[in-house]
């Protein structure tokens, strides 16, 4: 069974952390992953940097730009991760934009992910219908779970369709925004969390965008299986470096 | 319909809507409504009226006698440079502001590189009394001060794009982010035949008035509605899309697309996307774009800010791949020389974008009885500084 599905069966709320590979330093990737696991994080999204990340706010874009300047490429990342399964056992998801994957070759990319032990992919700009028609079979051949996003504006019909072709979890974007833009959840958002929870979808939901501390983590996981933190963690990495990851995770999980 | 868009939003292999879910409702709303709105008699009437009374259409189709003599062929210039705001860009912004009104939008956003599309957007927003926010790369703001001032005079707010390379592609990213953050009340007026479906098709349809006029103007002047050649410059490709539109399926009409080679196609400072680009995704569209082997989008260069875009619209990618259009690349120097030649022979100062199209006459020989229509997409007032510096005037 895929590590993501196993993790989702655990009777706890899940903390997932996103970071941009190659930031703050090119070779920090493995140490960040190992430290996150050691400090109780349940799942990790490894960001493959892109020059033009449309769905991301300033924090994640700046970290991507820095990572690219540091020399991060698809090949460099795969090389850094080649022995990751010797030391890390939690689910690992690659998150990136579609163009770099297209250039690598979608099938070659998926195969490489399987070889390394990557469990799933999040590709914000690969539309559901294109995935379903052209790439689903390839992802499945290599045992990869593809994760789709929904937002407060996503129609019930579309949510049901996304639920029907998903086989891991649904990434619930907390508000109509790019990453790292809101602070705290209002009534509109909690209503949306409740509305989705009441749909009883077959895939559990994990909430992302706007989660930055233990309070927002608790609010989100009241309605969902877990929550994802990205921008806030990157800010921490930027100011504190990779050695004090426990300071960050202990604040969230206290 | 072999060369125009199919019902799934693709030109052959190119096009589609490769967008994050956060953009889906906005783009889907537009996709479901744009054709319906454009068919409405009241929409057509208002669009045509504004094109006539406000933009000054039809733009003349001018027989360039001295230029024709020099190159021993029959050259007609489609004078988009005579439109209000000085280029073809206004055809699209008039159409899109009417579309935004029909969709009940209150707030307009746009991206701009050199500022021409920003000015055309600010203009129609002033005309309709709508809020206007224009994203522009910080570097472009510094080098295009007069257009920044124009937009401000027209009531637009100009927001600097500080991310990435701080130019057009980053301004586009920022506009898209704004749209993600404001999904309900905002319409995004894209300036070219780029972006996710339905934008390339919608913008092409608004620009199609150019070839619609060429057809009847040529009928009047030559007794036939089809030229032998249509020449246009291509950055994103909106003026070319408009000039080609009604001739796409008529292969007796040869289409020539002129790209900016910058300092030379292989100089590392170029914007010749068909020569240097590979298939990929940029700004929500599958098309040809300039990128690293790793799929990172690279920064183009051209002396002409309007051609300085790392991709081309999906229609043009399809025309290139199928061989329907012949793609030519022209260097900065060749374009500048051709621009000056038009000044001297015809008394017309062209935009440097259009000067690239004009440089084709130095590259390629036409027959004496060929009818060649060239899209003179804009006027050169905005480029005076560049002409002055180049020729030490």
Residue A183 pLDDT: 64
> Any alpha helices (H) in chain A, and if so which ranges?
3-9, 29-38, 58-69, 74-80, 98-104, 106-116, 128-130, 136-141, 156-165, 187-197, 214-223, 231-240, 245-252
Identify residues of B whose CB sits under 8 angstroms from chain A CBs. 16-25, 163-164, 169-170, 173, 176-177, 180-183, 278-284, 291, 293-298
Confidence of residue A180 (pLDDT cuts 50, 70, 90): low
Residue B164 pLDDT: 78
A125: nearest CB among B163, B169, B281 = B281
Q: How far is CA A152 from CA A164, A208, A216, B80, B226, in A?
A: 19, 12, 17, 43, 51
Residue B63: exposed, middle, or buried by beta-carbon count in 10 A (0-12, 13-18, 19+)?
A: middle
Is B89 marked active-site?
yes
pTM of the model: 0.96
Is this complex's ipTM strictly greater than 0.90?
yes
* Residue A191 reports pLDDT greater than 70: yes
Confidence of residue A108 (pLDDT cuts 50, 70, 90): very high
Residue A175 pLDDT: 83
**Does the beta-carbon distance from A181 to B181 stay under 8 Å?**
yes
Q: Exposed e or buried b for every residue in B269-289, given b needs 16+ CB within 10 A?
A: bbbbbbbbbebbbbbbbbbbb
* Residue A161 reports pLDDT greater than 80: yes
Residue A181 pLDDT: 65
Calpha distance A33→A35 (Å, rounded): 5
State the catalytic residue, choosing from B211, B274, B354, B377.
Answer: B377
> Which residues are B89's β-sheet partners?
none
**What secondary structure does DSSP assign to B276-323, as a single string?**
H-EEEEETTEEEEE-B-TTSPBPPP--SSGGG--SB--HHHHHHHHHT
Residues 6 or more apart whose Cβ sits within 8 Å of residue B324: B3, B248, B251, B255, B318
pLDDT above 70 covers what percent of chain A? Answer: 98
B240-257 average pLDDT score: 98
Domains, chain B, in order of start with CATH, read 20-50+89-203 (3.40.50.1100), 56-87+208-391 (3.40.50.1100)
Name residue, tokens 């930055």.
Answer: A212
Mutate to test the interface with A, among B14, B15, B21, B168 (most CBs of A within 10 A): B21
**Does the beta-carbon distance from B297 to A153 stay under 8 Å?**
no
Average pLDDT, rounded, for chain A: 95
Residue A119 pLDDT: 98
B173: nearest CB among A54, A103, A150 = A54
Confidence of residue B124 (pLDDT cuts 50, 70, 90): very high
State the catalytic residue, choosing from B89, B166, B286, B382.
Answer: B89
Confidence of residue A85 (pLDDT cuts 50, 70, 90): very high
């Amino acid at each position: 069974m895929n590590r993501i599905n196993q993790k989702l069966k655990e009777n706890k709320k899940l903390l997932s952390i996103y970071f941009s590979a190659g930031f703050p330093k090119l070779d920090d990737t493995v140490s960040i992953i190992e430290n996150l696991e050691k400090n109780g994080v349940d799942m990790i999204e490894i960001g493959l940097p892109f020059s033009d990340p449309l769905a991301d706010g300033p924090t994640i874009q700046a970290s991507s730009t820095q990572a690219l300047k540091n020399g991060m490429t698809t090949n460099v990342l795969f090389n850094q991760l080649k022995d990751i399964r010797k030391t890390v056992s939690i689910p690992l998801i690659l998150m990136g934009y579609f163009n770099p994957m297209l250039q690598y070759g979608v099938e070659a990319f998926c195969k490489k992910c399987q070889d390394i032990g990557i469990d799933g992919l999040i590709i914000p700009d690969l539309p559901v219908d294109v995935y379903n028609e052209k790439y689903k079979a390839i992802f499945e051949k290599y045992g990869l779970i593809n994760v789709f996003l929904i937002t407060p504006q996503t129609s019930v019909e579309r949510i049901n369709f996304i639920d029907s072709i998903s086989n891991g979890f649904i990434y619930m974007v907390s508000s109509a925004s790019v990453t790292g833009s809101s602070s705290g959840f209002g009534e509109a958002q909690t209503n949306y969390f409740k509305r989705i929870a009441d749909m009883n979808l077959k895939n559990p939901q994990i909430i992302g965008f706007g989660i930055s501390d233990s309070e927002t983590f608790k609010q989100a996981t009241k309605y969902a299986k877990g929550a994802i933190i990205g921008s806030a963690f990157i800010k921490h990495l930027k100011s504190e470096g990779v050695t004090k990851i426990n300071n960050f995770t202990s604040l969230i999980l206290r | 319909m072999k060369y125009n868009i199919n019902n799934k939003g693709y030109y052959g292999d190119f096009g589609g809507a490769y967008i994050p879910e956060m953009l889906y409702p906005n783009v889907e709303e537009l996709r479901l409504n744009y054709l319906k709105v454009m068919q409405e008699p009241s929409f057509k009437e208002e669009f045509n009226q504004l094109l006539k009374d406000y933009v000054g259409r039809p733009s003349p189709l001018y027989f360039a006698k001295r230029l024709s003599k020099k190159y021993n062929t029959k050259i007609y210039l489609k004078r988009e440079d005579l439109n209000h705001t000085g280029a073809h860009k206004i055809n699209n912004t008039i159409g899109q502001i009417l579309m935004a009104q029909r969709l009940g939008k209150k707030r307009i956003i746009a991206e701009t590189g050199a500022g021409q599309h920003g000015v055309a957007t600010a203009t129609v927003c002033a005309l309709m009394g709508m809020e206007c926010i224009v994203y522009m790369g910080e570097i472009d703001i510094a080098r295009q001060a007069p257009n920044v001032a124009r937009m401000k005079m027209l009531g637009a707010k100009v927001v600097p794009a500080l991310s990435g390379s701080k130019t057009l592609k980053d301004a586009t990213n920022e506009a898209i982010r704004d749209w993600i953050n404001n999904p309900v009340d905002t319409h995004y007026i894209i300036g070219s035949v780029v972006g996710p479906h339905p934008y390339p098709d919608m913008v092409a349809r608004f620009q199609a008035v150019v070839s619609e006029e060429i057809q009847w103007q040529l009928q009047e002047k030559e007794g036939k509605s089809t030229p032998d050649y249509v020449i246009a410059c291509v950055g994103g490709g909106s003026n070319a899309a408009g000039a080609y539109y009604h001739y796409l399926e008529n292969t007796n009409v040869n289409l020539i697309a002129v790209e900016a080679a910058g300092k030379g196609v292989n100089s590392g400072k170029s914007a010749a996307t068909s020569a240097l680009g590979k298939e990929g995704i940029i700004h929500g569209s599958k098309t040809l774009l300039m990128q690293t082997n790793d799929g990172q989008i690279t920064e183009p260069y051209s002396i002409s800010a309007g051609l300085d875009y790392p991709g081309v619209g999906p229609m043009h990618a399809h025309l290139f791949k199928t061989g329907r259009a012949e793609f030519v690349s022209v260097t900065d120097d060749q374009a500048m020389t051709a621009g000056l030649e038009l000044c001297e022979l015809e008394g017309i100062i062209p935009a440097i974008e259009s000067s690239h199209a004009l440089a084709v006459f130095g590259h390629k020989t036409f027959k004496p009885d060929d009818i060649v229509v060239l899209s003179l997409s804009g006027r050169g007032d905005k480029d005076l500084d560049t002409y002055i510096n180049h020729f030490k005037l």
